[in-house]
């Protein structure tokens, strides 16, 4: 199970020339508007025929300009979630889910997506968030080889988006299918991605696991200085005093209490701007997390900031400080220092499962 | 009121006044043409006859029923020339015809025709007609009640005892000219039309059976003036000189 | 009020108009879909071509039909020789004339119906495993149904009133090709038949108005079913 894609396609302003592959889990295609993300995912679905290239889905050639193969969309075994829900207005929710599909409705999935009570409704009587959740379920029920999600949350306002993200975590954990997820939201990327491919101007500028890519200073321009930061995987150890203790790749961390049970996996996002660096282990400080780290690399930014790549155990961490602090502290690669992280800076919204 | 609107209004008044003067003075002019509403089959003959009339004559032709209804609704006719007395009676009954102007100077004959290359029939009976019609052919004629020629055709077929047998083999048209035209085009092998149509056809259809005078229905055209101005023209059209020209077009002169 | 003759003309008109509508519908659907969804060379020309009956004098259309489908016409000859079908002077010919005359109206309404269907839903249909035909049958057509219905009823009403082309092509044979308009015309050619003509006019008006009202009601209830065309996601 997985996909391979190599294609070139002419746009008005630039050419798309791209090669990427993905396996099980969520591959996020990230980049600014007009980078070519939508072209790639539409080509994957057969909704767009690229000028040239080769697309392989679950071991089968679905497109090959050389061999003149172009399997139509309806035979590609995909599920597709569009930016707008595109529910069939003449069918009920249940009929939309089972439309052209013999599989019975999975009530557990309906519960997880919070749409079990909506099955008899007509699409025009759903809210935007509800409609999009139905669209997720429908795509999931129709997907045999792959699930394609084209900016599925972009049309929703912030509160609806926040409300739907936990459902997507559910979807991700429930489905074994490879997913290609197009977004320009760092939040969605950090929360859902296993693999990340960053596109700009029709080219792949960065690809790899979400943990590596988000700790890469060269990605900061694409993510934005306020959004940049590493993602860490961890396990809940225990709860107490309103805090949860996590075991992560960079050592134990204390964060505001989470809803998961001890032993459950979590993912947390540490924004680069929230990490404080100190040459000495600080004493009598309110911050709960003080980690010994090694400076691996320092990349000056275009403005007053500098991106510092840290290594804690075997894991990279990204911090952002001012150039001036860096000079005053005399920070250089190879130096052993301490990274300080307030427990409260790990917000609930940046935690996922 | 803005000046521009005032100016426009004054201009409009002037134009309207001028138009009113022109309109009211027109009927007084001696050059006002006479209008004559005629049955379609008469149009060509009348064009020739009215050529020498010392004034302009406009000819409007159509089905007799249509013409009569138009005249009853105030159509500007000075003279009517209809293909059946019934419609003249109908107009007379409404007091629309000038008293004493009515005349029936000409008539017509029914002819059985086929396409130009059709050979004459050797005998006239149901079998001979059916043979000529073949499996799918039809006999064209005017609609049996609405078109005068159709009424005459029906009468004659009944008289010959052919009506029942041909009931399902008819094409009834909205005018006798259409029936003629279907035969000329070869769409039907036979049609019952007027002799005047046959003459006008100039060889496009061929007479395949001559209906003897004794069997001919009484076909009478009726002429009448509608306006006082039309009287002179009506009289002229009923003259022997006019009748002379009508015979050249295949019409018969009333005995 | 209903003489046997009037009844015959009424029934014939209904038969002719229904057959004309049903026979024209598949062609209208196909052409409307092509015009609404496809881009191809000569599209404007095709669109103009199917509108010809709308601009041509009906008598001319009838004349052209007779030239083509008469027994000396190429199409008439072909149909007669290969299929034994005769259209000229038959009620089937009246149906053909009515179908051709009502086709542009029917096509226009159906095309508008198709154009009102969001192509994005058709795209979604493909991702749900529907072939192009499946997309048409299960998404486009059901959603365009109000437009299709309006088109069919407009076509039917137009067919009920068709006169010029019909009388030229198939003449005015009582019981065979004398539809309501032909019968009204014939009655108006006879003095004193005004009230019989008026009866027919009322019947024709009644049938056509009833069809329009019923379709209006159906189209509205259908539109309500699909949320008046407005729903999240389209």
> What are A72-118's pLDDT values in tens digits?
999 999 999 999 999 999 999 999 999 998 888 888 888 888 899 99
What is the pLDDT, as a whole number, of residue C231?
36
In angstroms, the CA C127 to CA A144 distance is 11
What is the pLDDT, as a whole number, of residue A258?
82
Query: What's the mean pLDDT in C109-113?
Result: 94
Residue C45: partners with Cβ closer than 8 Å, 6 or more residues away: none
In angstroms, the CA A149 to CA A5 distance is 16
Q: What one-character DSSP code corresponds to residue A280?
A: S
Residue A154 pLDDT exceeds 90: no
What is the pLDDT, as a whole number, of residue C192?
79
C-alpha neighbours within 13 Å on the C-beta side of residue B136: 16
What is the pLDDT, as a whole number, of residue B63?
84
Residue B78 pLDDT exceeds 90: yes
Say if the Cβ atoms of B187 and C190 lie within 8 Å.
no
Query: What's the mean pLDDT in B100-122?
Result: 93
Query: What's the mean pLDDT in A107-131?
Result: 89
Residue C223 pLDDT exceeds 70: yes
Average per-residue pLDDT for chain B: 87
What is the pLDDT, as a whole number, of residue A21?
85
- Residue A139 corresponds to which tokens in the numbers above? 């795509």
What is the pLDDT, as a whole number, of residue B29?
47
Distance from CA of C174 to the nearest CA of B (A): 8
In angstroms, the CA B126 to CA B114 distance is 16
Residue A349 pLDDT exceeds 70: no
Query: What's the mean pLDDT in A15-23?
Result: 85
Q: Using CB atoms, which chains have 3+ pairs under 8 A with B?
A: C
In percent, the amount of chain B with pLDDT more than 70 equals: 87
Give the residues across from A236 on adjacent strands. Answer: A246
Within the 10-29 window of chain A, which residues sit less than 8 Å (CB to CB) from chain C?
Answer: none
Query: Which segment of A53-62, A103-112, B11-20 scores lowest on mean pLDDT?
Result: B11-20
CA-to-CA dists, residue B212 to A113, B153, B209, angstroms: 96, 14, 9
Distance from CA of A322 to the nearest CA of C (A): 45
Asked if A146 and A180 count as a contact pair (C-beta separation under 8 A), the reply is yes
CA-to-CA dists, residue C66 to B113, B139, C167, angstroms: 20, 16, 11
What is the pLDDT, as a whole number, of residue C85?
82
Distance from CA of C158 to the nearest CA of B (A): 21
What is the pLDDT, as a whole number, of residue A225?
81
Which residue from A73, A88, A126 is facing C121, i.e. has the nearest CB?
A: A88
Say if the Cβ atoms of C167 and B174 lie within 8 Å.
yes
What is the pLDDT, as a whole number, of residue B14?
65
Say how many residues make up chain C. 234
What is the pLDDT, as a whole number, of residue B163?
93
Asked if A183 and A151 count as a contact pair (C-beta separation under 8 A), the reply is yes
Q: For the segment B189-219, what is each residue's pLDDT rounded down to a tens digit? A: 999 999 999 998 888 999 999 999 899 999 9
Locate the chain A residue with the closest alpha carbon to C132: A74
Say if the Cβ atoms of A138 and C128 lie within 8 Å.
yes
Query: What's the mean pLDDT in C106-111?
Result: 94
Q: Is A45 on the interface with C (CB under 8 A)?
A: yes
Locate the chain C residue with the closest alpha carbon to A128: C232
Q: For the segment C178-194, what is each residue's pLDDT rounded down to a tens digit? A: 899 988 988 888 877 88
Between chain A and chain C, the number of residue pairs with CB atoms below 8 A apart is 96
What is the pLDDT, as a whole number, of residue B79?
95
Say if the Cβ atoms of B172 and C190 lie within 8 Å.
no
**SS3 assignment, position B139:** strand
Which residue from C72, C174, C192 is facing B185, i.e. has the nearest CB?
A: C72
Which residue from B87, B136, B172 is facing C172, i.e. has the nearest CB?
A: B172
The more confidently predicted of residues B194 and C212 is B194
Q: For the segment A281-325, what is each residue's pLDDT rounded down to a tens digit? A: 888 888 888 889 999 999 887 778 889 999 988 888 999 989 888
Residue B26 pLDDT exceeds 60: no
B and C make contact (3+ CB pairs below 8 Å): yes
Between chain B and chain C, the number of residue pairs with CB atoms below 8 A apart is 67
Which of A339-343, B49-53, B102-106 is the most confident on average?
B102-106
Categorize the per-residue pLDDT at B28 as very low, low, confident or very high, splitting at 50, 70 and 90: very low
Handedness of CA A129, A131, A134, A138 (dihedral sign): negative
In angstroms, the CA C223 to CA C38 distance is 25
Say if the Cβ atoms of A131 and C124 lie within 8 Å.
no
Average per-residue pLDDT for chain A: 87
In angstroms, the CA C127 to CA A80 distance is 6
In angstroms, the CA A179 to CA A145 distance is 9
CA-to-CA dists, residue C176 to A77, B164, C22, C170, angstroms: 57, 16, 20, 9
- Residue A333 corresponds to which tokens in the numbers above? 């690669």
Categorize the per-residue pLDDT at C222 as very low, low, confident or very high, splitting at 50, 70 and 90: confident
What is the pLDDT, as a whole number, of residue C227?
63
Which of A6-10, A113-117, B53-57, C29-33 is the most confident on average?
C29-33
Say if the Cβ atoms of B68 and C89 lie within 8 Å.
no
- Residue C75 corresponds to which tokens in the numbers above? 């199409």
Q: Is C80 on the interface with B (CB under 8 A)?
A: yes
Residue B30 pLDDT exceeds 60: no
Query: What's the mean pLDDT in B51-62?
Result: 87
- In chain C, residues with a C-beta closer than 8 Å to the C-beta of B178 are 168, 171
Query: What's the mean pLDDT in B36-42?
Result: 89
Asked if A317 and A250 count as a contact pair (C-beta separation under 8 A), the reply is yes
Look up the ipTM and state it.
Answer: 0.84
Distance from CA of C146 to the nearest CA of A (A): 12
In angstroms, the CA C112 to CA C3 distance is 41
Locate the chain C residue with the closest alpha carbon to A84: C233
Categorize the per-residue pLDDT at B5 as very low, low, confident or very high, splitting at 50, 70 and 90: low
- In chain C, residues with a C-beta closer than 8 Å to the C-beta of A73 are 126-127
Mutation site for C-interface testing, chosen from A124, A132, A151, A164 by largest number of C Cβ within 10 Å:
A124
Locate the chain C residue with the closest alpha carbon to A91: C226
Say how many residues make up chain A. 353
**SS3 assignment, position A59:** coil
Residue B251 pLDDT exceeds 70: yes
Query: What's the mean pLDDT in B98-104?
Result: 91
Locate the chain B residue with the closest alpha carbon to C77: B187
Q: For the segment C134-154, what is each residue's pLDDT rounded down to a tens digit? A: 999 999 999 999 899 999 999
Say if the Cβ atoms of B146 and C186 lie within 8 Å.
yes
Strand ranges for chain C from DSSP E: none
Which of A238-242, A244-248, A339-343, B104-108 is the most confident on average?
B104-108
Give the residues across from A16 on adjacent strands. Answer: A9
Say how many residues make up chain B. 255
Which residue from C125, C126, C230 is facing A124, i.e. has the nearest CB?
A: C230
Query: Which segment of A149-163, A334-348, B80-94, B97-111 scores lowest on mean pLDDT?
Result: A334-348
Locate the chain A residue with the closest alpha carbon to C133: A74
């Amino acid at each position: 199970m997985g996909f391979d894609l190599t294609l070139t396609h002419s746009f008005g302003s630039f050419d798309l020339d791209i090669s990427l592959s993905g396996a099980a889990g969520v591959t996020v295609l990230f980049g600014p508007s007009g980078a070519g993300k939508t072209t790639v995912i539409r080509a994957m679905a057969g909704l767009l025929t690229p000028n040239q290239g080769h697309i392989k889905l679950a071991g089968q050639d679905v497109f090959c300009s050389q061999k003149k193969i172009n399997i139509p969309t309806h035979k590609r075994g995909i599920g597709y979630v569009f930016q707008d829900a595109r529910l069939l207005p003449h069918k009920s929710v249940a009929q939309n889910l089972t439309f052209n599909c013999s599989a019975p409705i999975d009530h557990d999935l309906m519960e997880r997506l919070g749409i079990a009570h909506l099955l008899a409704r007509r699409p025009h009587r759903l809210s935007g968030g509800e409609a999009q959740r139905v669209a997720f379920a429908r795509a999931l029920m129709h997907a045999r080889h792959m699930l394609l999600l084209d900016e599925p949350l972009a049309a929703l306002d912030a509160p609806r988006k926040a409300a739907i993200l936990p459902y997507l975590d559910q979807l991700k954990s429930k489905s074994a299918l490879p997913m290609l997820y197009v977004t320009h939201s760092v939040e969605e990327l950090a929360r859902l991605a296993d693999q990340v491919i960053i596109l700009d101007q029709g080219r792949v500028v960065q690809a790899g696991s979400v943990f590596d890519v988000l700790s890469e200073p060269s990605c900061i321009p694409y993510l934005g200085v306020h959004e940049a930061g590493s993602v860490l995987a961890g396990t809940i150890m225990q709860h107490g005093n309103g805090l949860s203790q996590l075991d992560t790749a960079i050592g134990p961390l204390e964060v505001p209490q989470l809803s998961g049970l001890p032993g459950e996996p979590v993912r947390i996002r540490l924004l680069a701007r929230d990490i404080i660096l100190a040459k000495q282990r600080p004493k009598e400080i309110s911050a709960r997390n003080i980690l010994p780290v090694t400076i691996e690399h320092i990349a000056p930014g275009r403005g007053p900031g500098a991106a510092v790549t840290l290594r804690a155990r075997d894991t990279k961490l990204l911090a952002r400080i001012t150039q001036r602090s860096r000079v005053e502290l005399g920070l250089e690669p190879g130096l052993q220092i301490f990274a300080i992280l307030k427990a409260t800076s790990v917000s609930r919204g940046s935690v996922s499962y | 009121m803005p000046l521009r609107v005032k100016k426009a209004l004054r201009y409009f008044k002037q134009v309207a006044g001028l138009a009113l003067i022109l309109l009211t003075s027109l009927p007084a002019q001696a050059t006002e043409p006479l209008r004559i509403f005629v049955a379609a089959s008469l149009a060509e003959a009348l064009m020739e006859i009215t050529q020498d009339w010392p004034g302009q004559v406009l000819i409007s032709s159509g089905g007799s029923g249509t013409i009569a209804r138009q005249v009853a609704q105030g159509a500007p006719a000075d003279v009517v020339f209809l293909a059946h007395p019934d419609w003249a009676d109908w107009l007379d009954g409404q007091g629309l015809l000038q008293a004493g102007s009515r005349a029936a100077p000409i008539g017509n004959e029914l002819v059985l025709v086929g396409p130009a290359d059709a050979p004459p029939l050797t005998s006239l009976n149901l079998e001979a007609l059916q043979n000529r019609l073949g499996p799918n052919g039809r006999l064209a004629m005017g609609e049996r009640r609405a078109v005068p020629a159709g009424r005459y055709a029906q009468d004659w077929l009944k008289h010959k005892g052919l009506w029942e047998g041909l009931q399902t083999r008819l094409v009834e048209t909205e005018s006798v000219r259409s029936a003629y035209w279907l035969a000329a085009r070869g769409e039907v092998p036979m049609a019952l039309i007027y002799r005047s149509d046959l003459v006008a056809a100039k060889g496009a259809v061929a007479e395949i059976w001559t209906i003897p005078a004794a069997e001919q229905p009484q076909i009478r055209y009726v002429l009448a003036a509608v306006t006082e101005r039309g009287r002179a023209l009506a009289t002229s059209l009923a003259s022997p000189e006019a009748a002379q020209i009508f015979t050249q077009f295949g019409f018969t002169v009333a005995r | 009020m209903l003489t046997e003759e009037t009844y015959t003309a009424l029934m014939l008109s209904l038969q002719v108009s229904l057959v004309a509508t049903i026979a024209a519908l598949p062609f209208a659907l196909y052409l409307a879909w092509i015009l609404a969804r496809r881009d191809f060379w000569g599209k404007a020309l095709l669109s103009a071509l199917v509108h010809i009956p709308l601009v041509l004098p009906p008598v001319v259309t009838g004349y052209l039909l007779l030239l083509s489908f008469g027994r000396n016409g190429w199409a008439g000859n072909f149909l007669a020789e290969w299929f034994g079908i005769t259209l000229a002077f038959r009620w089937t010919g009246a149906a053909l004339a009515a179908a051709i005359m009502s086709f542009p109206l029917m096509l226009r309404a159906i095309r508008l119906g198709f154009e009102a269907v969001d192509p994005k839903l058709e795209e979604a249909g493909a991702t749900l495993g529907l072939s192009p035909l499946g997309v048409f049958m299960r998404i486009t057509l059901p959603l365009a149904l109000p437009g299709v219905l309006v088109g069919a009823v407009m076509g039917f009403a137009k067919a009920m009133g068709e006169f010029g082309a019909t009388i030229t092509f198939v003449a005015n044979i009582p019981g065979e090709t004398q539809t309501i308009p032909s019968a009204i015309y014939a009655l108006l050619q006879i003095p004193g038949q005004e009230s019989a003509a008026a009866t027919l006019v009322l019947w024709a008006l009644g049938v056509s108005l009833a069809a329009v009202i019923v379709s209006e009601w159906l189209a509205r209830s259908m539109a309500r079913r699909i949320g008046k065309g407005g729903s999240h996601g389209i």
